[in-house]
Structure 1
Amino acid sequence: MTELLDRAWPVLADWRLPAAVIATIVAGLMRGYSGFGTAVILAPVYSLLWGPRAGVPVMLLMELLVSLQLVPSALKDADRRVVLPLGGAAALATPLGAWILLTADGDTLRRFIGGFVLVFGLLLMSGWRYHGSRPLPLNLAVGTLAGLLKGSTGMSGPPVILYLLAGLEEAKRHRANLILFFATIAVVSVIPPLIGGLIDLAVLVRLAIVLPVMAISVPIGARLFHVIPERLYRPFAMGVLLVAGALALFG
């Protein structure tokens, strides 16, 4: 036990851990409110703080547990006809994306994550969305792209969010669709880092600190969904995405 504590202490004493906690609070509030926000905030921030190979596994494990927490309330409102093909294709493509995480240069991957989040935030701010139909082949194509991104960067959300949020459904249906999609691929996404040896003691110690923070923040964000108007939430959310992406890209 003493040896274990000695190995864990440098991780606990690292100044980057409090910074990760603050980012986790913001991401948890966004996830509970909107159904997304965990990966697009935490992937660039954790990658900046700890590097992609250390930061992405923490985020993937936390995403799995958060998704399971939100699924029961979302099942009745989600459109499974659209979401399940998206999630199935993403689950199949995730291991290939994980190969990129395991082999790519860490600094290059971190900057790609930051740039990708920055572009995604700008697209959301511009109001652009996909406004066409949602046939099965297109569902599978978007899901495959999301899976590649999930495995390599921890972020499956951006293409799916831009794709799903274009419909005329009410906000409750959008939120439920996103929650069910993320839950569908969450289990698959943690397997490659586990096999590849990326989930070590440092990852588990960081997860033990940030997971309770996320567990508290998500329900608070879910309650805020019924209180705060979307017109006030969206500018804040977009600003957070732009800051997180810029930090990872230029940090």
Structure 2
Amino acid sequence: MSTAFDTLLDWRMAAAVLATAIAGLMRGYSGFGTAVLLAPIYSSLWGARAGVPVMLLLELFVSLQLLPRAWGDADRRVILPIGGAAFVATPLGAVILLTADPEGLRRFIGGFVLVFGFLLMSGWRYHGSRPLPLNIAVGTAAGLLKGATGMSGPPVILYLLAGTEAAIRHRANLIVFFAMIAIISVVGPLWGGLMDMAVLLKLAVVLPVLMICVPLGARLFHVIPVRFYKPFAMGALMAAGSIALFS
């Protein structure tokens, strides 16, 4: 037990608190950013089998916090099939988390975040239609990623942001999607015994930080122009991916 408490006092926890504050502001402002920023950083600080469960529990709490206001603004015809497919596929991805080499998984998370960041910076988006089979395929890929790495956002973000909808609709769609898979995503790590005391102690430190910063970010959405968000978000993603890949 003393070892678990000792981890709360080292530099890794201070770094985790700072990253959590930034991720909370990003999530509240844009509707995404928690997992794609924190998964590589937590995995680098604590290892994937501790970092991913902490991040998944954070996602559960923040999704429940944001969902009520976003539900009415979301395009449920599109987002419900995507979220349903991800819900089903997430436990399958958790098998990868429980069986993969932790070092290899950490580096995969970092590399994936870097690729995702470069795609966003390039301006590339999917510009086709959104038929039901494609919605299900995107949701399935997102669910597998969620279970294995804690990140479901990249394929869904690239897919949804291609549309011409207003920013408030994009943000609401992402919030509803993340909420749909938040509960199922913690089942695999819980069943696999990863939700131990060390994970819960880390959660107890970073959760209050996130719950404070998300509402602050949500307020910023109505104040700060979106154009100022993208450079900051891209820099944070690049830094997070590089840390996980090269550390």
TM-score (normalizing by structure 2) = 0.99
What is the identity percentage for the equivalent residue pairs of Structure 1 and Structure 2? 75
Give distance in 1, aligned partners of 2:51 and 2:240: 14
Q: CA RMSD in A?
A: 0.8
Contact 2:49 2:102 in 1 (8 A): yes
Q: Deviation digits for residues 126-151 of structure 1, max 9, x if unmatched? A: 00000110000000000000000000
User: Where do 5+ consecutive residues of structure 1 fail to align?
Assistant: none
Q: 161, 164, 172: which is aligned to 1:168? A: 164
Give distance in 2, aligned partners of 1:233 and 1:178: 16
Q: Offset of 1:11 from its aligned partner?
A: 2.2
Q: 120, 132, 138: which is aligned to 1:136? A: 132
Q: 102, 107, 122: which is aligned to 1:106? A: 102
Give distance in 2, aligned partners of 1:8 and 1:17: 12
Alignment partner, residue 74 of structure 2: 78
Q: Offset of 1:107 from its aligned partner?
A: 0.6
1:36 aligns with 2:64: no
The count of corresponding residues between Structure 1 and Structure 2 is 247
Contact 2:5 2:201 in 1 (8 A): no
Q: 223, 241, 244: which is aligned to 1:245? A: 241
Alignment partner, residue 11 of structure 1: 7
Which SS does the other structure have where 1:66 is aligned?
helix
1:205 aligns with 2:201: yes
User: Where do 5+ consecutive residues of structure 2 fail to align?
Assistant: none
Q: 183, 187, 198: which is aligned to 1:187? A: 183
Letter in structure 2 aligned against 1:148: L
Letter in structure 1 aligned against 2:48: P
Q: Offset of 1:39 from its aligned partner?
A: 0.3
Alignment partner, residue 67 of structure 1: 63
Give distance in 2, aligned partners of 1:134 and 1:24: 33
